[in-house]
Amino acid sequence: MLKHYQHFLTVQFAVDEINKDPYLLPNVTLGYQFLNNFHQSQMAVENSLMWLSGKGPTIPNYSCDRQHKSMVVIGGMSSTLSMAMATLLGLYKVPQLTYGLFDLLLSDEVQYPFVYQLGSRESTLHLAAVQLMLHFGWTWVGLVISDDLTGEQFFRLLKEEMASNGLCLAFTEGVPKNFKHEDDDIKLLSRILGSSSNVIFIYGNTDSLNLFSELLAFFVLYGKMLVISSSWDYSADSINEMMINFHGTLIFSQSKREIPGFTDFLRSVHPCANPEDIFLKSFWEVVFSCILSERRTLDMLFSQCDESLSFAEVPPIFFDKSIMEKSSNIYNGIHLLAHALHQILQTEAKDLSELVANPLLSWKLLHFLKCVNPVSGIKDELCGDGPSTTAETYDILNFRSLPGKIWSEVKVGEVNPQEKVLSINEENIDWPEDFPQIPTSTCSEACGPGFRKQLREGQPICCFDCTLCPDGKISNKTDTVQCMQCPEDQYPSKEKDRCLPKTMTYLTYEETLGMFLAFAALCFSILTTFVLGVFVMYRDTPIVKANNRSLSYILLTSLILCFLSSLLFLGRPTPAICILRQTTFAIVFTVSIGSILAKTITVVLAFRATKPGSQLRRWLRPAVSHSLIFICTLIQMCLCGIWLGTDPPFLEMDTHSEASFIVIQCNEGSLVTFYCVLGYMGFLALVSFTLAFLARNLPDTFNEAKYLTFSMLVFCSVWISFLPTYQSTKGKAMVAMEIFSIVVSSAGILICIFAPKCYVILLRADRNTLEILKNKSNH
């Protein structure tokens, strides 16, 4: 693990920097001792025991080197190594500074009271992960965690944050430090590969995911995009040839810090300038594949190292020029130690020898470490139990495996979890070979506009079906849960993805239906006028006189007005027209039916008053018939007055009858009064029909009853059919139905009553004589 050689150089640089500072620890020179544990817990314990015993045999509770006793231990790089060391060092109350990832287990002050963690907490990493998922639309993500307390806490926080953002975990797999059965590793990989999720987030440190790293070195996760944190060094146990399997992996790394002067320090580091540094010699020969001149060897496979070589030429695979998080922690830890020693020498001990000789003072060093600001060196009276800093931002790195066993980590973005701000350069990302473009990871395809999500029963919220929005509703966004109703003045498009403005409409003269109804009304009104003209022209003929000439004039005139009143229902309605059209229609029709009723009664009375001196003759005078019409009409006018005085018709915009139109129409107001008006006309028509039906067998020449019966039958049939149809229709169809009923019922009266008479007057004048009438009467 040559890239960790940076940690050694950081120690050297920090110690040299402090020793050169005349104000920090004056007259005191810091030294250091390196002990290599080879990343093994057993070696960490052994080295700790060697350090406690000093030079010579490693004897517990005995030290042969008290004059050069160290004050503090910096290590280890991982929590596993730190715990192994702390178990032994804690017995002697030796302060231990760990520079690896902050671990919850190490924060237990009962079990590890002398451990001080320099690493920042990753308590916001789950927020950063969710921000990345939201950015790329990864709603269906797998999770692989270390099977320990840290992994469980991360799982709990991540799951809660994902749920609040509508994201789901496809699976969660905990990786134990040791598999119980031989085939457990294969089962674990099978579950991961068999998942429908294309993106897998892996969280844990290098030690806890050691077995998983070995698995991935030999088994490739085809079709899976990996997202990890820098706490897992997957390259630690990987074979160089297998590193290509991690190409395209995204890595969350705490923002790398700058150490002032470290770059200049690297230029001065060279085996010739540091001949006693055995670590540097080994590192130099490995990275440059050469041998140093100081070493005498018979190995002829490598040439001598060129003296002009420097750290600037070391490949990135071996040495990261930027400061890694652990190196920054080491640098801060050494300066923290220096400031703590400075404070304890000023307040508790006169010189360093007294501090070394008095174990009680050295045990207090941890308290000073916790209470001294590592930057300013000022003692803080409100000192805490340890560092509680949280990573404010994370760098997003992209791992790239290049030909020639070269790989690098390129920064492609950064994220601030607290502010929920993510910036990333997607064009600069090299995705895994299985994904030619940005990977997608969803349980269900997104529901486009016009559709809504319908959750599948018993499955996570990310698994759903897409259902078309119901009539009258739209969805203009992707993955809408509920379709929304369009405003009343708008209607859904055919695709149901937007609302379109409704068009104002009403029954106009220009459209086909309006034109036909207007034409029919005008034609029948002209025809009625023509019939009236015929009756006026032939007013002295027997057939006109015999059928009550004045009542015929009134009936024809009212029929003309009936036809013309239907035109009030055409065109754009106004408040005045809404009030006029129904009342005009009702009154004019009442006059017509009243005239028919008067005609029917006149016919019946005429044949009952044939005996000389009959008292019924006085009821045959025109004034009586006119009074009857007036009374019928007056009652109708009273009903209309009540209607207008209580709840009159008014103008309204009907937004529901037609989907894409707003119908401008008249609301009838009080339906009870409206049906009373219609019912009154129906009552008059029913009385006329009954009387006419009873008088249908009177002599034909004088008898109008047969024609009156047919006219009332037509009238009643039309308006009885009108009522249910009127209730079931909306908008323009309702208006057209009422016009049609007015025209047809009026035409039925006109044709049934006056067509036979006009036929006799115009075509059979020979039958329109008094002699014919007398002969038929006598017969």
Answer yes or no: do 22 and 69 share one domain: yes
In this structure, the answer to whether residues 487 and 529 fall within a common structural domain is: no
User: Do both 663 and 756 map to the same domain?
Assistant: yes
Q: Is residue 481 part of a domain?
A: yes
Backbone phi and psi for residue 664, each to the nearest 5 degrees, phi listed first: -85, 115
Can you give the length of the chain in residues?
Answer: 779
Nearest to residue 740, comparing CAs of 528, 558, 516?
516
pLDDT-derived band of residue 585, with 50, 70 and 90 as boundaries?
confident
DSSP 8-class letter at 324: P
Residues 129 and 115 in one domain: no
pTM: 0.67
Distance CA 281, CA 269 (A): 11
If you average pLDDT over residues 534-554, what whole number do you get? 83
pLDDT in tens, 722-741: 778 777 777 788 888 888 88
Q: Residues 684, 575: one domain?
A: yes
Domain for residue 185, yes or no?
A: yes
For residue range 507-524, list pLDDT tens digits in order: 888 888 889 999 999 999
pLDDT tens for each residue of 226-255: 999 988 877 766 666 677 788 899 999 887
- The whole-number pLDDT of residue 301 equals 67
What's the CATH code of the domain at 721? 1.20.1070.10
Say whether both 66 and 205 belong to one domain: no
**Model confidence band, residue 778 (pLDDT cutoffs 50, 70, 90):** very low
Are 568 and 529 in the same domain? yes
3 state DSSP class of 270: coil
Give the mean pLDDT of 695-711: 65
Is 402 strand, coil or helix? strand
**Residue 283 domain-assigned (yes or no):** no
List, for residues 343-373, the tens digit of each pLDDT value.
888 887 766 666 666 666 667 787 888 776 6
Percent of the chain with pLDDT over 70: 86
Average pLDDT over every residue of 53-67: 69
Let me know if residue 292 belongs to a domain.
no
pLDDT at 711 over 70: yes
Between the two ends of the chain, the Cα-to-Cα distance in Å is 137
Structure tokens at 503: 């068009």
Number of domains in the chain: 4
Domain limits for position 330: 2-119+321-371
- The CATH number that applies at residue 137 is 3.40.50.2300
Q: Mind giving me the DSSP string for 149-215?
A: HHHHHHHHHHHHHHHHTT-EEEEEEEE-SS-SSTTHHHHHHHHHHTSS-SEEEEE--TTTTHHHHHH
Read off the pLDDT of each residue in 552-567 and give the average, rounded to a whole number. 90
Tokens of 434: 């299985």
Residue 385 predicted with pLDDT over 90: no
Residue 209: what pLDDT? 86
Same domain for 363 and 224: no
CA angle 444, 448, 452 (to 5 degrees): 75
Residues 6+ away with beta carbon under 8 Å from 432: 224, 225, 226, 247, 248, 249, 439
Whether 149 and 80 map to the same domain: the answer is no
321-335 per-residue burial string, b: 16 or more CB within 10 A, e: under 16: eebbbbbbbbbbbbb
Question: 131 and 98, same structural domain?
Answer: no
Residue 617 pLDDT level (bands cut at 50, 70, 90): low
The most confident of the ranges 155-164, 305-314, 318-327, 617-626 is 155-164
Examine residue 626 and state whether it is found in any structural domain, yes or no: no
Of the listed ranges 109-113, 263-267, 458-462, 543-547, the least confidently predicted one is: 543-547
Same domain, 486 and 588: no
Residue 618, domain member (yes or no): no
Q: Which residues contact 687 (CB under 8 A, 6 or more apart)?
A: 597
8 A C-beta contact, residue 117 and residue 387: yes
Q: Is residue 55 domain-resident?
A: yes
Same domain membership, residue 491 and residue 584: no
Query: Residue 457: is its pLDDT beyond 70?
Result: yes
The torsion angles phi and psi of 371, rounded to 5 degrees, stand at: -105, 0
pLDDT (0 to 100) of residue 403: 73
Return mean pLDDT, the chain.
83
**6: nearest Cα among 242, 260, 331, 244:** 331
Confidence of residue 391 (pLDDT cuts 50, 70, 90): low
Alpha carbons 462 and 166: distance in angstroms, whole number: 7
With a cut of 70, say whether residue 615 has pLDDT above it.
no
Rounded average pLDDT over 404-414:
82
CA angle 109, 110, 111 (to 5 degrees): 95
- Specify if 387 maps to a domain: no
- pLDDT, mean of residues 212-228: 87
